[in-house]
Structure 1
Amino acid sequence: MATTKLAHDMKPDGITVMAFHPGWIRTDMGGEHAELETRESAAGLKRLLENATLAVTATFRTHDGLNVGW
């Protein structure tokens, strides 16, 4: 809800607000059986940030761009 409200407030100023899910990443916390390498997740999130527009404001996206329903 914080993302949605902030996106609503910032949209008139041309600012895009999104939430991201990096995925299940192989780290000490994610464990050795996790699906993603850190670099893969980070590259996906970077791509999403570089291409973010007001058309996607207030959305929740996975590292590979899939929309997660609120």
Structure 2
Amino acid sequence: MPSESHIDLEIALKKIHELAAESNSDLGVLYWNQVGRLLQRAARMQADIDALSKELERCQAMLRKKH
């Protein structure tokens, strides 16, 4: 089951990079960099979830055929 809420990560990360560059403090830069990393991790996790959902559907289909 593919992700229903796919976003263009490149655009989002570019905007986050801009926000970090516009920040007036080191803390602001660190904050936006962390937000970018979290967004990347979330995208990887969603890809893993999508792959696992497909595998689960495949396994369930195999079990239905056996019964």
The answer to whether the superposition gives a TM-score over 0.5 is: no
Q: How does the TM-score come out when normalised to structure 2?
A: 0.33
- Identify the structure with the greater helix proportion: 2
- Give the TM-score, by structure 1 length: 0.32
Larger % of strand: which? 1
- Which structure is larger by alpha-carbon Rg, 1 or 2? 2
